Structure 1
Amino acid sequence: MFSENAIEVHDLSKCYQIYDTPRDRLKQFLLPALRRSVGLTEEKYFREFWALRNVNFSIKKGETVGIVGKNGSGKSTLLQIICGTLAATTGRVETNGRIAALLELGAGFNPEFTGRENIYLNGSVLGLSRQEIENRFDEIQSFADIGQFIDQPVKTYSSGMVVRLAFAVAINVDPQILVVDEALSVGDELFQRKCFSRIEAIRAAGATILFVSHSGGTVVELCDRAILLDGGERIAMGMPKKIIGRYQKLLYVPENRRNEIREEIRREDAVGAVEMEKSREAPVVDIDENQIEPAELPESYDPALKPVSTISYGSYGALIEDPAIYSHGGELVNNLNRGKSYFYRYKVRFSQSASNVRFGMMIKTTNGIELGGGVSAASNRESLAFVEAGSTFNVEFEFSCQLNSGVYFLNAGVVGELNGSETYLHRLVDVAMFRVLSETNNLATGVVDFSCMPNIEFENN
């Protein structure tokens, strides 16, 4: 294995035998050998389910990689094989470094043991010596913050206390590779932030992190790359923003176009792999911010300021058209001034009738982080109860541009009820973009302008 790689996965597949009845399982155990002994052809009494098929990828040391995919796509199976808690059917995994896994938190605890005893038990499973565990015990106890329960049997703990203790043990083994399977969604808000902070510190120390998440924003914010699994196959790997866009497109595609979209994503991935070798983080749009002095630009429209990362979801009888930004004077604009308000407008044409219809928008950074947006109704009770086929709606959102200088992207979406549940009838990601012009005397920092006003007074002692 090459020294710069922390994880290598080669032609990895996992097959499960599915039995319709316990009797079939007994037949499979007894009859094949019996049939062979009398010269008869073997029969199978099970169905094969391939959770993973020929998955290949490598992760370099120090990378943070997210794995996304709908439920049943093979994400958890992949992590379990990488951690060594599940055997592959074919293929192999090579890892280089100490692994700490946050899979099913608390699954390895003995409920009869105290929290203190389980710290030593789990620490030894994760590869620490007793002396190493003793050296880290105070830090583990402090992070878990379960007080006197540390000396009580785990069977008396609440589920939240078990999670706290399990997380505290796993992240205090100084892992070189940290594997996380949706464990970041547990606990209260304060504990979640505490966990994120520790994971960020582990990442900053140079560890490799591989994790599963259904939160696109988390993947975009934390990851260097992302992997898209579908039906047990790796169909794309690349920049987080692009992979999340493809995942969401696949998630909401009509079933009759699913295979078509899968193949389209595969083709895009093949092209993207070549581009990735040239630049891991190529810009989403080729804009030279220094070619003109933004401070000298008035509020205006630049026809060259168009996104190249637009993704259109499959349509369920609705189609979004002509999304654009307008000033209060009615002019089309995409060079905006901080502190002013604008209108984001688009049309929606309905080729099919729809019920409980709502419209929405979202503003994002170039890295895909969602900054904020709005919807036309807070719930189904306030939505449009029924829309007839052939209808057209003009949608308008007024927004205040409280953003600092930079380039931003816009989404547009329309949701409605389909087969008893709310879903996107059409959605456009990165369909429009705008630039916020810089100001010479702007004191605001970061992305959002919170109107922070400094007041400095000299205290004469």
Structure 2
Amino acid sequence: MSSEVAIKVSGLGKCYHIYDKPHDRLLQMLRRGRKQYYREFWALRNVSFELKKAETVGIVGRNGSGKSTLLQLICGLLNPTEGNVHTSGRIAALLELGSGFNPDFTGRENVFLNAAVLGLSEAEIKARFDQIAAFADIGDFLDQPVKSYSSGMSARLGFAVAINVDPDILVVDEALAVGDEAFQRKCFARIGALRAGGTTVLFVSHSGATVVELCDRAILIDRGESILISDPKLVIAKYQRLAYAPPARQEQVRRAILAMHEDEAGTAAPFSREDDAEDDEVGQAGDNDAPERMPGKHEASAYYDKNLVPASTVSYTPNGAVIDNIRILDKTGATVNIITSGQTYRYCYEVRFTHAACAVYFGMVLKTISGFEIGGMGSHEVSDAEPYIAGGSVVRVTFWFRNMLRPGIYFANAGAYSYAMENQQVLHRIIDAHMFRVIAAPSMRWNLSGVVDISSPPRCHLDIVTDAVPVPSDHDEMQERRVTT
């Protein structure tokens, strides 16, 4: 293996034997070679790639695709059924919460145990202990049994040990998702420092934005195979296409990814804006699951995909108002949920007031697929809220925004609020009320940092469609009516 290669995986596969009945396992042992009492399940098969030193590579794929099995084989925790793995240098791994910890030992004792397993001497552990404790930042719990820890505390301690043993290779399996935002930021900063120092980083993540931001390359695993190894933007685009494809079209999408041209090194061709447009051709005319309007190969126009529906919607209990008819409209007034970068759209919803309310305002928030809040808009300043809306009224809320999001999946919230008597009341709120996908326009600026260009100011407009009761002239009467309702 070349001195510049940190990890080399060649024809790697892992097969498990599945027995229908417990006693079949014994029969297989007694009659080996005469009859097979098990079914083969290949969790991983024919996976090959190389990682250079100081390279950061993300692994993405649907649940059950074989990502964690691959990491365990690389770390030597599993023996491969076929193929082989070669690694160069010390490996520090954080594969699952509390992995390598004895639940009956204290955190302090587990630091010494885990660091010793990773190859540090007792003197080295003592010299680094204060650094580990400071990074984990779990206070007096360091001297409590690990079995009393929350999942976040276990992740903190495990990661603190892993990154303070000066690893040549750092392997992380989605373990950081449980930490709070401040801790996650600290972890990513530390990973950046390790990368700068020459550490090879290999990690599994479901966050496309994180993979694109941190990684030099990405690997898409599906059904135990590595079906794409390439630029992170391209891999994430294909992964999201595969993950959100309706069941009837998943095999077609998968074949399209597998059919992509690969160079001699097994790495897919560089990212092309046409690749995303080609994805949209997977649903051909006559396919019952295809979107109602599909752009051509070289188009980047908005359209509506009936299959793009959020599964994480949470609706608060209505408190005098009900939000409904949530949608995004393009400049022609058509309902869309596949939108193009650089174009102006309207995010709309209607609010039906079951009771009168005063000092009313409305809001929306956009979030990434990981839940990160990109930003939001409010219809009014609190001091300038809508003075009074009668019971039975319907208000159509429209937020204009110029879409400068990078390609990817996003979610939008919707909310109606009252600030009567100087106390905010949630009249109705829906989390992840709407889901939409952004596709790249040919003129999109790819040198943007972050996920959004904030150069365009948004605006909002309200239409009171129906008004069941005249607006009272006396402001005190308005507040009294709101309180009593």
Q: Structures share a fold, TM > 0.5?
A: yes
Cα offsets for 1:256-305 (capped at 9, x unmatched): 4433332321221425968868xxxx5746xxxxxxxxxxxxxxxxxxxx
1:378-427: CA deviation from partner (whole Å, max 9, x where unpaired): 99xxxxxxxxxxxxxxxx984247x7xxxx86679999xxxxxxx9xx98
More displaced 10-residue stretch of structure 1: 99-108 or 145-154: 145-154
- Mapped to 1, the partners of 2:217 and 2:114 lie a distance apart of 30
Distance 1:234 1:275 in 2: 11
Cα distance change on mapping 1:227 and 1:399 into 2, 3 Å: same
- Compute the RMSD of aligned alpha carbons: 4.0
* Residue deviations 1:62-97 (CA, integer Å, cap 9, x gap): 111111111111100000000011110111000011
Query: CA offset at residue 149 of structure 1?
Result: 2.1
Instruction: Identify if the C-alpha distance between structure 1 residues 409 and 168 changes in structure 2 by more than 3 Å, giving closer, same or farther.
Output: closer
> 188, 193, 204: which is aligned to 2:180?
188
Maintained 8 Å contact 1:140/1:168 = yes
1:346 aligns with 2:302: yes
Check if 1:226 corresponds to 2:218. Answer: yes
AA matched with 2:4: E
CA contact (8 A) 1:411 1:432 kept: no
Q: Residues 338-377 of structure 1: CA distance to partner in whole angstroms, max 9, x if unpaired?
A: xxxxxx97354989xxxx9854356779xxxxxx998656
Q: Which residue of 1 aligns with 2:4?
A: 4
Aligned equivalents of 2:116 and 2:175: distance in 1?
21
Aligned to 1:179: 171
Distance 1:445 1:246, change over 3 A: closer
* Structure 1 partner of 2:441: 432
> Aligned with 2:104: secondary structure?
coil
Note the residue ranges of structure 1 that are not aligned, 5 or more in a row.
33-40, 286-306, 324-333, 335-343, 366-371, 380-395, 416-422, 439-443, 452-461
- Does structure 1 residue 360 correspond to structure 2 residue 337? yes
2:45 is aligned with 1:53: yes
In the alignment, the residues of structure 2 paired with residue 55 and residue 274 of structure 1 have an alpha-carbon distance, to the nearest angstrom, of 11
Residues 147 and 223 (structure 1), Cα distance of their counterparts in 2 relative to 1, 3 Å cut: same
Q: Secondary structure at the match of 2:65?
A: coil
> Which of 268, 292, 307 is the aligned partner of 1:319?
292
1:17 to 2:17 alignment: yes
- TM-score, normalisation: structure 1: 0.67
The residue that corresponds to 1:399 in the other structure is 401
Q: Distance in 2 between matches of 1:189 and 1:92?
A: 38
> Please, which runs of 5 or more residues in structure 2 have no aligned partner?
308-324, 328-335, 352-397, 413-431, 457-485
Aligned residue identity for 2:129 = F
How many residues align structurally?
354
| Alpha-carbon shift at residue 152 of structure 1 (Å) | 2.3
Aligned to 2:137: 145
The residue matched to 1:318 in structure 2 has which SS?
coil
SS of the equivalent of 1:101 reads strand
- Asked if the contact 2:92–2:167 (Cα under 8 Å) also holds between the matched residues in 1, the reply is yes
Question: 1:290 corresponds to which residue?
Answer: none
In structure 2, what is the Cα distance between the partners aligned to 1:173 and 1:374? 51
For residues 15 and 410 of structure 1, what CA distance do their matches in structure 2 show? 37
TM-score (norm 2): 0.64
SS in 2 for 1:138: helix
Contact 1:69 1:229 in 2 (8 A): yes
Check the 8 A contact 1:63/1:209 in 2, yes or no. Answer: yes
1:148 Cα deviation from its structure 2 partner: 1.9
**Alpha carbons of structure 1 residues 148 and 348: separation in structure 2 relative to 1, 3 Å:** closer
Separation in structure 1 between the aligned mates of residue 121 and residue 346 of structure 2, nearest angstrom:
53
Partner of 1:441: none
What residue is the counterpart of 1:166 in the other structure? 158
* % same residue: 53
Contact 2:231 2:271 in 1 (8 A): no
Moved more, 238-247 or 267-276: 267-276
What is the SS of the residue equivalent to 1:112? coil
